[in-house]
Structures are given as structure tokens and as C-alpha cells.
Amino acid sequence: MKKILLLAALAMFAVACGKPQVQVLSKGLVFPESTDAPWSNCHASTLAWTPEGLAAAWFGGGPEGDPNVKVWFSRLIDGQWTAPAMIAEGKDADKAVACWNPVLWQAPGGPLRLFYKAGPRVIGWWGETKASADGGKTWSEAERLPDGFIGPVKNKPFLSSDGVLICPSSMEYPDESWKLHFEFLPPSGAVDGKDLSRTGELEDPEDLRAIQPAILDHGKGKLQALARSRFGGLVTTWSSDNGRTWGPVEKTGTDNPNSGIDAVTLRDGRHLLVYNDTPVGEGQWTGRRSPISVAISHDGITWEKLLDLDALADGEKGELSYPAVIQAPDGLVHISYTFSRRSIRHVVLKVE
């Protein structure tokens, strides 16, 4: 009898400590590769859950930096994505400039907010924003952020427990230095200038040169940010005061080819990371953006890889990159990412 009880206890322990189970419920493209789209290149998708359901945006046009690169938008209705609609274009006086890295944010009880960058180059770009009161059907006029603010640079903002919208951000400079910082906006994401503030650039003692952070919530005002870096692996920084101040940028030991990531804290307290699980090339500052993978963590420090969402064949050109990830009200996880610059892939996961 004792042996039976011991075996049962060991079985229960194995289940409790076993690898989390993940199911891929669906996997498709936001728009078919064959679509007669008004762009030859698309990238940097973003997701938000609105009162009308899931919404996505991305930039598309010619090569990055081309003046015809604009922000496009689509909604998932009854399992089908709507035809892409152009919702933002860059202007500098009367001159067209490129749009970059859109970020959607659904304010609780408020508008759907779009943040994006505009300018001919990453160095020197500026932040702009628009709002929609009807889930993305119509949009306000573009509003430029004040000097020194660009909004969330790639990944979704985080609404802190004390009601401040924290925008994970960064800047790239002509001397090739990359610096992280965080910006603070009111919960609606409005940028009227009255309630805006930001941190200084974060301390980077090892010159890791990080950009594009994603925020994780450890509870009781303790936040963590993960980011890509020029040294090749993921880096992290921590805050113990709801994001008001942050510690130095540090290595994590997790591989990444200096490519965009995203992460989310699930409602059960675990943390989910979507990233390229490959190192940088020898003697280079970047690497192959494939496969694109999902990992999970209880503490934000040790990450367990769950699966590869997608991978290119050996020798196949292209990239699977720049993910966005959110958890829907029903608990399902929605992920989008660039599909070789030809389309945007959408994947739905159930993580148990």
C-alpha cells in the first residue's frame, strides 16, 4: 500500500513539475501572400484586443525608410481578417516620410490608440499618435508627440497598478549607441503634454546597446523589461517602484540574433516570451531570424522553450521576426509576426 501511495505521489509531482502543455489552435496569414497589396514589403506587426475583438496593424510599402511606407490595419471578424486599410502616413510639412513600428493600445473604457514613428530614418524619427472610438473603423487626425518622446518604440505599453501608462522605449544614435528609456503617459495614451514624463537613459555598464524593450509584471510594483541588444543575447532590467526607476541593463544568457522580441505576463503569473532562438553570427552583430519560438518562465530569469512556431528551411531566404503577443479575455494567447516581409502570420495558442 505504501508503495502504491508513493508511486501516486511521484506521478502527481511529475505532472505538477512537467513541461507546460501548449496547443496551436490556429495558424494563418492576416492577408494572403497573393493579395494585390499596395506594398512590396511589410513588417513590425502589433496586436490589441478591443471591444470589437482582435485588431492588428503593421507598416507596409517599399523598403524600410521609403516615403511610401504607411501603417495598415485589419480586424478579425468571425474568424476572417478584414481587408487591410491604411490608417496612418508620415508627413514632414508637405513632404511624405516613412512610417515605422506601429503599436496598438486599447485604453480601458477608452479609445483604441495607435502609436507610430515617422521620419526618413530611425535616427531622428519622431513619435505620432491617433485614436479611434469605434475599434479602428475611423481614426482621429495624427498628433505629434513632444520632443524627447516617441511613445512605445515597438512593444505594447503597460498600465501600472497606480494608473500610469508606461511606454517601453529606446533611441538609436549616429555613433551606433543604443539606449533604453521609459515614458509615462495618462491611461488613455493622450499626449496633451500635461501628464508626460520619462526616465533618463538606463545605465548600460557593459555597453550592451539594447533597444525595443517588453515589460513583464511580477506584482507589487516589481516590473521587468526584456530587450534585444547588439551584443547578441537578450538583456534585462528591473524596477521595484512601478517603473519609475530602473536598474542597469544586464545579460540574461538567452540567445537572440539582435532581433525584435515581445513578451507578456499571463493572468496566472507566468511570463511568455516570443523571440528568435538563434545566436548572432561569428564576428557579426546580427544573425538568422529563424526559427521564431515561444518560451515560458515563472521568474523571468530561467526560460523554458515550449515550441518553434515557424522555421525556414536550410538555405531558404527570408525572416520570421518582430513578434507581438497578447492574452485575450478568454485566456488564449494571440501572436503575430513578420512572415518573410510578404505577410503577417497570426497564431493562436492555448497554454496550460
* pLDDT at residue 10, rounded to an integer: 37
Of all helices (H) and strands (E), which one includes residue 12? helix 2-17
* pLDDT at residue 160, rounded to an integer: 96
* pLDDT at residue 34, rounded to an integer: 65
* pLDDT at residue 18, rounded to an integer: 63
* pLDDT at residue 11, rounded to an integer: 38
- Look up residue 110 and give its three cell numbers: 477608452
Pairing outcome for strands 143-144 and 158-159: unpaired
Domain spans of the chain, in order of start: 22-351
The phi and psi torsions of 333 (rounded to 5 degrees) equal: -105, 125
What is the block-wise mean pLDDT of the chain (352 residues), using blocks of 10 residues? 40 51 96 81 97 97 96 96 96 95 96 98 97 96 95 98 96 96 94 85 97 98 97 94 98 96 98 95 84 98 97 93 98 97 96 93
* pLDDT at residue 4, rounded to an integer: 38
* pLDDT at residue 140, rounded to an integer: 97
* pLDDT at residue 193, rounded to an integer: 64
Give the whole-angstrom CA distance, residue 55 versus residue 76.
6
* pLDDT at residue 17, rounded to an integer: 53
Contacts of 139 (CB under 8 A, 6+ apart): 87, 88, 114, 130, 131, 132
CATH class assigned to 22-351: mainly beta
* pLDDT at residue 264, rounded to an integer: 98
